[in-house]
Amino acid sequence: MPTFENPAAHADEVQNALRALAHATRSIDDPRQIYSVLGSLTSSVASLSQSLHQLAAFHDGRSTRSGWSPESTPRARSAAYRVSWDLHRTGEMLRQVGEAIANAHEAEAMLAYHREFPEPSASHRSAADRGLSL
């Protein structure tokens, strides 16, 4: 059962899951799965955006609950500011990416897939299909 308390381990799990997804989507055998995949990706990207904003908030100095803080030198403050800026910016970009995926998910819902099967050749037709009977 997940504990949701080890961000590094969960980030590794996400990396492996996304790698597996990238491998699985190289060829789509059943396009009916696309809708579900897009729904999951929409939610995943929203969670990733939230995670990045939360990591950035730590560097903003808003997360003092843990008792940890970077050293208080000009260089460290500058680095913390850069980390915060880049993470907030990336979190916002991902929010927009999530909206675009959600739009594609919505449009995918309008598609219905069917499989076309080839007509059997004359040599494979049964006697009943050829008009012969007993």
- Is residue 59 classed as helix, strand or coil in its secondary structure? helix
User: 10 Å Cβ neighbour count for 91?
Assistant: 19
Say how far apart CA 85 and CA 59 lie, in whole Å: 9
What's the whole-number average pLDDT of the chain? Answer: 87
- Can you give the pLDDT at residue 35? 97
| Average pLDDT score over residue span 17-28 | 95
Number of domains present in the structure of the chain? 1
Say how far apart CA 54 and CA 94 lie, in whole Å: 14
Say how far apart CA 88 and CA 55 lie, in whole Å: 9
Identify which of 48, 62, 56 has the alpha carbon closest to the alpha carbon of residue 18: 48
Higher pLDDT, 70 or 6: 6
Within-domain flag for 52? yes
Within-domain flag for 89? yes
* pTM of structure: 0.76
Residue 71 pLDDT grade (very low, low, confident, very high; cuts 50, 70, 90): confident
Within-domain flag for 77? yes
Within-domain flag for 118? no
